[in-house]
Amino acid sequence: MNRNVAVTTLGCKTNQYESAAMEERLVGAGYMIVPFEEGAELVIVNTCTVTAATDRQSRNLIRRARRLNPAARIVVTGCYAQVAPDKLVNLPGVALVIGNAEKKEFLDLLQDVADTPRVKVSDIGRERNAVALPLSRFADRSRAFVQIQNGCDAFCSYCIIPHARGRSRSLPPEEALVQVRQLVARGYPEIVLTGIHIGGYGADLSPSTSLHELVARIEAETDVRRLRLGSIEPTEIPNALVERVAASAVVCPHFHIPLQSGDDGILQRMNRLYDTQFFRRMIAGIHSRMPEGAIGLDVIVGFPGETDEQFATTCRFVEELPATHLHVFPFSKRPGTPAALMPDQVPAAVAKERAARLRALGEEKTRAFAQRFVGRELEVIVEGGGNAEGRKGLSRNYLQVAFPGSDALVGQAVQVKITGLNERGLKGILV
């Protein structure tokens, strides 16, 4: 059996995490990971299906793997494989299609990668347990991720993910704690809790628990220096969690929250379960408790039927919020979702132009937020990879900081005196 394998990934942080976990298991089983461009004889393509464009990109990656090595045997997994295996199994070179639930047994399935294509995709809607694919090492020596949850129950009108990832399923807290302790013991100064829908953490467990309770246990029962939370839905941020983050010396003062639109009509068509009045109150509450904390928002522009006036409403709403970072996405329809069939689809060029305008607003907000810290000291965890100004790192409140320093500092927490701004954030000198 050939022991060289390339793993290539499209999509979200969860997919990237799972690809890295598969690579780690492959190495443990005696495989050698090689770059995709080398034309490995075994290629694993971890697909995304969030839009029609990512479906197309996934198919193109499979065809490219075949061009790089006409003898390649290709294994396809991920969300596109989960929802449309029939569209993948007959592509030239595809030997095996496995669903997201089957990732946990992918090594066993690889033992029989034959010339006859096979499909191993179960009904992920029947999955009731979160199965960990733990990672012990990360390319970035400063941050490590723990996937505490998978799946989503929300069924927003633009999103296929509940069909691709199944119902919300939580990793038992004891398993999450073990992973955190192991990563801390390996020297990672910051742990990030991640998943598809982490605000729903614990509701499916027996006895039930919550993200707030898990965070409290990680603080009390591990030696983690920094704990950062992944994206949390606005309806799933209780006051108790805000209070804990605000008062904690461990949990980073940083919330990443999907807004998606600042217009109530659009939010209703998106099947988002809140309105702008609720969102404004929630953000104001967070800001009042942690005025120097980071608040990042996701926004989708160009949703079907979004008029110029509704886009302007979103811009005004975002401008008025004490947000510090924006992550802006032009709407791209995904077949199989209600939004793909809605009338008045916004032209792609219009959505792209709106996204550029809103991103410019986001850059202004980030710059204004960063400016507040000039002349002060920030704790920065040093990341790998340098730039023209030396090293770079991340502050607790999600600001990029550049400063002169050596490779020996990577993975360490240092104090940096902030001297000014650069294109990506802040710059300073070691204290």
* pLDDT on residue 388: 56
> Would you say residue 115 has pLDDT above 70?
no
Taking residues 255-280, report their average pLDDT.
98
pTM of the model: 0.92
233 has pLDDT over 60:
yes
Q: What is the pLDDT of residue 3?
A: 84
pLDDT confidence tier of residue 387, bands split at 50, 70 and 90: low
String of DSSP letters for 190-248: EEEEE-S-GGGTTTTSSS---HHHHHHHHHHHS--SEEEE----GGG--HHHHHHHHH-
Query: Could you read off the pLDDT of 415-428 as tens digits, one per residue?
Result: 999 999 998 899 99
Could you tell me the two tokens for 148?
């505490």
Question: What's the pLDDT at 386?
Answer: 67
**% of residues, the chain, pLDDT over 90:** 82
pLDDT band at 66 (very low <50, low <70, confident <90, very high): very high
How confident is the model at residue 131, as a pLDDT? 75
Higher-confidence position of 51 and 386: 51
Q: Which of 22-26, 30-34, 39-43, 106-110 has the lowest mean pLDDT?
A: 106-110
Predicted confidence at residue 376, as pLDDT, reads 97
Model pLDDT, residue 389:
58
Q: What is the pLDDT of residue 121?
A: 94
pLDDT at 250 over 70: yes
pLDDT at 413 over 80: yes
Per-residue model confidence (pLDDT) at position 63: 96
The CA-based angle 248-252-256, given to 5 degrees, is: 130
Q: Which residues contact 209 (CB under 8 A, 6 or more apart)?
A: 170, 173, 201, 202
Helix axes 308-320, 276-289, angle to 10 degrees: 20
Residue 271 CB-half CA count within 13 A: 11
Does 202 score more than 70 pLDDT?
yes
Q: Is the pLDDT of residue 19 over 70?
A: yes
CA atoms within 13 Å, Cβ hemisphere of 384: 7
* 133-159 average pLDDT score: 88
Average pLDDT over residues 52-79: 94
Instruction: Count Cβ neighbours within 10 Å for each residue of 151-182 and write b for 16 or more, e otherwise.
Output: bbebebbbbbbbbbbbbbbbbbbebbbebbbb
Q: Which residue has the tokens 């309806």?
A: 235
| Residue 114, pLDDT score | 63
Choose among 417, 416, 412: nearest CA to 190: 412
For residues 234-243, give the mean pLDDT: 97
Do residues 49 and 83 make contact, with C-beta atoms less than 8 angstroms apart? yes
User: What crossing angle do the helices spanning 348-371 and 308-320 adopt, rounded to 10°?
Assistant: 10
User: Do 145 and 135 meet the contact criterion of CB atoms below 8 Å apart?
Assistant: yes
Largest CA distance in the chain: 65
What's the pLDDT tens digit per position in 122-131?
A: 999 888 888 7
pLDDT digits (tens, 9 = 90+) for 278-293: 999 999 999 999 999 9
Task: Tell me which residue of 169, 129, 119 sits closest to 149, measured CA to CA.
Answer: 169
